[in-house]
Amino acid sequence: MVGEWTPIRFFKNIGASFVEVSEQLGTKDLIGWWSSVEAVDIDFDGDTDYVVGNLGLNYKFKASAEKPFHLYAADFDKNRSIHIVLAKYDGDRQVPVRGLECTSEQMPFISTKFTSYHDFADASVEDLIGMEIDNAIHFKATTFESIILKKDGNSFSPIALPVTCQFAPINAIVLIMDDKKQLKQLLTAGNMFGSEPETSRADASFGTLLNISNTIETLLMTQSGISLPYDVKDIKAIKIDDGIGILVVSNDDELRILTHNRDK
């Protein structure tokens, strides 16, 4: 199971219920804005690996295990409306991501607390929301990289997907199999056109087609014929006559069907 602000979570079926086994499998600390997952034996060694789509490495927000990206939410001014504060690192200090103008529009008390842009620029998150930080709802992300989760023995280790797959969030992962049902190609696509006003939308992905054999080869758009610069939310492989096609759904857009050329 994957989601926003969550680890990649594994649950084991024990009769009538499930128990979480993410810690044993090594994925408890892989916390991201995950948006898609597909099971596949990517290295052809007989066990199941996973391809997992995340926010990507091309967004305004960055995250690492050492310097996670944080979110705090609480009613900081006690007027019965919840506010969100996003935080990143400046050295070892957590500082607000959003500027004085956006922040004080959402939380008017900020404009009386900080009377100049200079004061606000020097403020840490604790300066901003004070002791309330301890009681706030707190989420963090430790990675925005889209990955292959490779099974090694009894646990999983993350391996980065190629750089073209990191250009935008991956919302769709499609496995393209050959006649013997063996993996031949992998298609990833996504983007995220919705964002807060001062953040530009994630629209750098045209979709990426990868050839999977002993190595992972990224195809150029001119080789793959894939051009999906849309707000792609999901893709399914479908049957067209006796060939393979893909059905692409995107926000504010028409349904699209592409056919796969088997000979290439």
Of the candidates 23, 47, 101, 122, which one interacts with Ca ion according to CB under 5 A?
47
Nearer to Ca ion, 77 or 234 (CB): 77
User: Which tokens in the block code for residue 82?
Assistant: 């919840």
Nearer to Ca ion, 49 or 145 (CB): 49
Cβ at position 203, least distance to Ca ion in Å: 33
**Reduced DSSP (H G I as helix, E B as strand, rest coil) percent helix, strand, coil of the chain, to 5:** 15, 40, 45
Nearer to Ca ion, 132 or 203 (CB): 132
- Spatial CA neighbour of 164 closest among 187, 183, 192: 187
Nearer to Ca ion, 41 or 126 (CB): 41
DSSP 3-state of 221: helix
Cβ at position 59, least distance to Ca ion in Å: 27
* Inter-CA distances, 232 with 173, 199, 252, Å: 11, 19, 10
The reply to whether 105 sits near Ca ion by the rule CB under 5 A is no
Site for Ca ion in 116-175 (CB under 5 A): 151
Per-residue contact flags (x/-) with Ca ion for residues 63 to 82, judged by CB under 5 A: ------------x-x-x-x-
Site for Ca ion in 20-39 (CB under 5 A): none
Of the candidates 4, 20, 41, 253, which one interacts with Ca ion according to CB under 5 A?
41
Through-space distance between the first and last CA atoms of the chain, rounded to whole angstroms: 34
Is the separation of the CB atoms in 58 and 204 below 8 Å?
Answer: yes
Other C-beta atoms lying within 10 Å of the C-beta of residue 40: 17
- Half-sphere exposure of residue 78: CA atoms within 13 angstroms, side-chain side: 2
Cβ at position 51, least distance to Ca ion in Å: 11
Position 230, amino acid: Y
The site for Ca ion (CB under 5 A) is made up of 41, 43, 45, 47, 49, 75, 77, 79, 81, 151
